[in-house]
Amino acid sequence: QQQVKQSPQSLIVQKGGIPIINCAYENTAFDYFPWYQQFPGKGPALLIAIRPDVSEKKEGRFTISFNKSAKQFSLHIMDSQPGDSATYFCAASMMTGTASKLTFGTGTRLQVTL
């Protein structure tokens, strides 16, 4: 019940394409859903995050769509660029006391080709 399932495992798109990464969760107590970007040899960096009371959030070229009833959320990258090539992780967390540990998906390796 603590899992976050992420797909696809890898994705190749051409420059300018719109890669879409999907995540699903079971635990309805999750109340915060961030996406992280990780380059090889680096730590994850927060891209964008959403809470369940919002169905969509956009920041620059990155958009999160959230479907509370289906317990699914997705990341769209508009006008993708080769520099977007990285591994993307969805995550979920809930406040328990003063903690908000993150449960991560397994990651999607994105390659944007010229």
By the criterion CB under 8 A, which residues form the site for another protein? 6, 32, 34, 36, 41-46, 49, 51, 89, 95-107
Shortest distance (Å) from residue 90 CB to another protein: 9
Shortest distance (Å) from residue 76 CB to another protein: 20
Q: Are 82 and 113 in contact (CB under 8 A)?
A: yes
Shortest distance (Å) from residue 13 CB to another protein: 21
Nearer to another protein among residue 19 and residue 44 (C-beta): 44
User: How far apart are alpha carbons 108 and 54 in whole angstroms?
Assistant: 24
Nearer to another protein among residue 43 and residue 83 (C-beta): 43
Beta strands in 8-100 (DSSP E): 10-14, 20-25, 33-38, 45-50, 56-59, 62-67, 72-77, 86-93
Nearer to another protein among residue 99 and residue 114 (C-beta): 99
Nearer to another protein among residue 85 and residue 103 (C-beta): 103
Q: Are 89 and 35 in contact (CB under 8 A)?
A: yes
The helices-and-strands tally (H runs, E runs) of the chain is: 0, 11
Shortest distance (Å) from residue 69 CB to another protein: 22
